[in-house]
Amino acid sequence: MTETIGGLGVGHWTNPEARTGCTVIVFPDGTVASGEVRGGAPATREFALLDPSRIVASVDAVVLSGGSAFGLASADGVMAELEHAGRGFPTRFGRVPIVVGMSLYDLGVGDPAIRPGRDEGRSACREALASIGRPITGGRIGAGCGATVGKWGGSAIDGGLGVATVVESVAESIVDEAGDTRLVVMALIAVNAFGFIDDGSLGDEPGRPQPPAFEPAAGQIEGAVETSADRSNTTIGVIVTNARISKGDCHLLAQSGHDGLARSLLPAHTAVDGDALVAAATGELEVDVDVMWLRALAQAAVVRAVRSAGATSL
Three-class SS of 230-279:
CCCCCCEEEEEEEECCCHHHHHHHHHHHHHHHHHHEECCCCCCCCCEEEE
Band of residue 177 on the pLDDT scale cut at 50, 70, 90: low
Q: Identify whether 289 is part of a domain.
A: yes
Domain with 255, as residue range(s), is 9-311
Distance CA 47, CA 137 (A): 26
Inform me whether the pLDDT recorded for 151 exceeds 70: yes
Inform me whether the pLDDT recorded for 54 exceeds 50: yes
Q: Tell me, what's the pLDDT at 288?
A: 86
Q: Identify whether 2 is part of a domain.
A: no
Looking at the 3D structure of the chain, how many domains does it have? Answer: 1
Q: Tell me, what's the pLDDT at 44?
A: 97
For a pLDDT cut of 90, what percent of the chain falls above it?
75
Q: Identify whether 301 is part of a domain.
A: yes
Q: Identify whether 3 is part of a domain.
A: no
Distance CA 238, CA 190 (A): 9
Write down the pTM of the prediction: 0.90
Inform me whether the pLDDT recorded for 122 exceeds 50: yes
Q: Identify whether 1 is part of a domain.
A: no
- 3-state SS class at 171: coil
Kindly state the average pLDDT of the residues 103-127: 96
Backbone φ and ψ of 219, nearest 5° = 85, -5
Burial of 275 (0-12, 13-18, 19+ CB in 10 A): buried
Q: Identify whether 70 is part of a domain.
A: yes
Distance CA 218, CA 239 (A): 33
Query: The domain that contains 284 carries what CATH number?
Result: 3.60.70.12
DSSP per-residue string spanning 11-52: EEEEETTTTEEEEEEEPPTT-EEEEEE-SSS--EESGGGGST
Band of residue 202 on the pLDDT scale cut at 50, 70, 90: confident
For a pLDDT cut of 70, what percent of the chain falls above it?
88
Distance CA 267, CA 150 (A): 10
Distance CA 189, CA 269 (A): 14
Inform me whether the pLDDT recorded for 3 exceeds 70: no
The b-or-e profile of 155-188 (16+ CB within 10 A means b, else e) is bbbbbbbbbbbbeeebeeeeeeeeebeebbbbbb
Least confident range of 70-84, 143-157, 291-305: 143-157
Length reported for the chain? 314
Q: Tell me, what's the pLDDT at 218?
A: 45
Q: Identify whether 4 is part of a domain.
A: no
Between 205 and 271, where is the model more confident? Answer: 271
User: Average pLDDT of the chain?
Assistant: 89
